[in-house]
Structure 1
Amino acid sequence: MPGPVPTIADIARAAEVSTATVSHALGGTGRVGESTRRRVREVAAALGYGGRRGPRTRTLGLAVTTYAGSAWNYVEVAYFSRLLTAATAAAHAHGYALTVLPADRGGEPLWHTLAVDGMLLLDSPAGDPVLRALRARGLPVVFDGRPPDPRPADVWVDNDHEATTREVLDHLAAAGARRIALHSAYGREYYTGAVTEAYVRWCAGRGAQPLVVPFDPEDAPGRAFDPVFAGPSRPDAVYCVYDPGGRQVLAAAARHGLRIPGELRLVCASEDPAYAACDPGVSTVTLRPELIGPSAVAALVELLESPQGAAPGQRTVPAALTVRASSAVRASPSTPSR
């Protein structure tokens, strides 16, 4: 029978260092000398830390790590709520439990001792300490969203953000927009950067000047748009990258007396059905979390159970644009209505 799985405390005793030093050494964080870091990792490897010792737990873990360390409740966000529901159902269908971790991870040691067979990481940012800790353990990881620096064997599930951004911007241009702003530039995850870069390229291809309005989740009144809507080069359309952005634009437009869609067109990336009930109804882009979650779970199960593992690279889930009144093309007087 295999022996018990070693803990951080076991490694600390064997390496004659503190548990905090072990955590930093294995996770690649903190101020630890290179010789100490190397010794800790050698001791951990010798003890079999992170190896496949002991019975499988048949448990998968899931964490959102973009803003890990802050106590924000991502379950309240429609995208994550829908993904979690779908991922849980998929995990159960494969015979696994799914453990959902809080954003406030409660200290690095958690990731060195968490009893799971593999992890789903959502929106993992550059320099993610959680990812470093999981890699140090040798745990299989599948990403929702392309990791910033993918390794050759990494597997992730994502949308084609280039194609989706072009579709939204082309739709707004066809509806008559001539100066389109992007409400973005907040997170460090791949999604934000990919959409922003696609927007800048689209503008460059049409000789248009990009206008990126910084998003702030605490800016419910949309004050970031005050100088933009009051300026001489006011945009006539906005594409919001984050779910609350559409409501922020609606609030700012009402404050500045801008009619939607008469003077301002609006599209928001959101899974919130309440946007359909706005007056006017707001056009939305769904990133299809109900498909991304099960796809990520299936890839992780493949890594755990298939002798060949899962094929590396991206599994693409198409996003979908739902056009509503906020960005609809206005019919000309000579166009008969149906």
Structure 2
Amino acid sequence: MSRVTIADVARAAEVSTATVSNALNGTGRLTASTRARVRAVAASLGYGGPTASRTLALTVTTYGHRRWDFADVPFFAQAIAAATAAAHKRGYALTALPSAPDDSMWSTLPVAGVLVLDSPGEDPVVRILRARGLPLAFDGHPTEPRPGEVYVDNDHRATTHEVLDHFAAQGSDRVALIAGVADDHYTRTCVAAYREWCAGRGIPPRVLPMAVGDEDGRTYDAVLSGADRPNAIYGLYDPCGRRVLASAARCGLSVPADLLLVCASEDPSYATGTPTAPAVSTVSLDPRRTATTAVTALIDLIEHPQQEPASVTVPARLHIRASSLGERASASRT
């Protein structure tokens, strides 16, 4: 990857970085001579290339500069596959980038636009991409959307209330929420909706951590063995279901007789259950649909920059299974 930046090209061509971006990506209202001159300067410096106008990038910036294997998570795996298919359908290539690449990659990456998943507050990658003037689409509501950008998201407040109302209908009166430390819109909105729901019912909120690397869920052993343990848990992430089931088993609790459980996941294995664990109720955020919609919107931004983009809300789906169904859970206090 060349270390030449878009700013270097702009200085050499005596134009703005936005003009360089538009010239290389085939966007904007430039004269043919300006576009050709900027491309010639970029080529002479070793920046970009003719394929940039038909190439998109996909990045997951949830944890900023921390490296992690997001492609191994069913949600992101499905999003990447759907985004790639949607790009190919419109004649574009799509590159899924690793987490936490060097900042120079973002300064020189020759692409027409970028799809950003789970962008946190003050996202350093988004800051660089905006400075380059690249078209951006977000899968997940960005903290501060800008004019000319587009996002696709679910109604996380409504979904959180739906899950919690389901617990209440089953008799749960001590509901806990497992949330991570990421400062993304999804986490913040779900936690706020949970606290709002608890306040409306006079229930003390209990937010449990999503500990990185705690594959066996031992973080929750003390919680589930305590006198005032929760009788229902909603986990916001894919591993939550497996971790809670493991912890409950160590603590001698039965799911769903003693503890109701729902987690947000696209993992189909939760639907099957095992001889020792029930099928787990899940919330699907429909990543195939959100990613497809976001890529389509991104390409529309690239090809029709004069049009004002419209953001889209995609419904989430609660799949109720054995783990959150049972006799009144409030009677399970021990």
Please classify the TM superposition score into its range, dividing by the shorter chain length: 0.7 to 0.9
The aligned amino acid for 1:86 is A
Q: 2:198 corresponds to which residue?
A: 203
Distance in 1 of aligned mates of 2:176 and 2:304: 46
1:185 Cα offset (Å): 3.3
> Is the alpha carbon distance of 1:228 and 1:148 closer, same or farther for their aligned partners in structure 2, counting shifts above 3 Å?
same
Distance in 2 of aligned mates of 1:13 and 1:196: 44
Could you tell me whether the CA contact under 8 Å between 1:299 and 1:310 is conserved in 2? no
Q: Deviations over 1:234-283 (max 9, x none)?
A: 10000000100111100110010011100100001000011112221100
Q: TM-score, normalised by structure 2?
A: 0.84
Q: 1:33 corresponds to which residue?
A: none
Q: 2:124 corresponds to which residue?
A: 129
Q: Equivalent of 1:45, from 9, 12, 16?
A: 16
Aligned residues: 299
What is the 5 A alignment of 1:299-338? 299-306=297-304, 308-312=306-310, 314-330=311-327
Give the secondary-structure state (helix, strand or coil) at the position aligned to 2:324: coil
> Is the alpha carbon distance of 1:67 and 1:85 closer, same or farther for their aligned partners in structure 2, counting shifts above 3 Å?
same
Q: Equivalent of 1:271, from 266, 274, 278?
A: 266
Distance in 2 of aligned mates of 1:13 and 1:161: 41
Structure 2: 5+ residue stretches without partners: 25-38, 40-49, 329-334
The aligned amino acid for 1:327 is S
- Tell me if 1:219 matches 2:185: no
* Percent identity (aligned): 49
Q: 1:229 corresponds to which residue?
A: 224
The aligned amino acid for 1:99 is T
1:220 Cα offset (Å): 1.5
Q: 1:24 corresponds to which residue?
A: none
> Is the alpha carbon distance of 1:46 and 1:233 closer, same or farther for their aligned partners in structure 2, counting shifts above 3 Å?
closer
Q: In terms of mean alpha carbon deviation, does 195-204 or 69-78 score higher?
A: 69-78
Q: Deviations over 1:173-224 (max 9, x none)?
A: 1011111000113211111111000000000011110000011131122122
Could you tell me whether the CA contact under 8 Å between 2:62 and 2:184 is conserved in 1? yes
> Is the alpha carbon distance of 1:181 and 1:250 closer, same or farther for their aligned partners in structure 2, counting shifts above 3 Å?
same
> Is the alpha carbon distance of 1:293 and 1:204 closer, same or farther for their aligned partners in structure 2, counting shifts above 3 Å?
same
Distance in 2 of aligned mates of 1:330 and 1:211: 23
1:52 Cα offset (Å): 2.2
- Tell me if 1:292 matches 2:263: no
Q: 1:155 corresponds to which residue?
A: 150
What is the 5 A alignment of 1:1-338? 7-8=4-5, 11=8, 45=16, 48-53=19-24, 54=39, 57-105=53-101, 107-278=102-273, 279-306=277-304, 308-312=306-310, 314-330=311-327
1:126 Cα offset (Å): 1.1
Q: TM-score, normalised by structure 1?
A: 0.83
Structure 1: 5+ residue stretches without partners: 16-41, 332-338
The aligned amino acid for 1:297 is V
Give the secondary-structure state (helix, strand or coil) at the position aligned to 1:318: coil
Could you tell me whether the CA contact under 8 Å between 1:6 and 1:47 is conserved in 2? no
The aligned amino acid for 1:285 is V
Give the secondary-structure state (helix, strand or coil) at the position aligned to 2:68: coil
Q: Deviations over 1:150-183 (max 9, x none)?
A: 2233310000001100100001110111110001
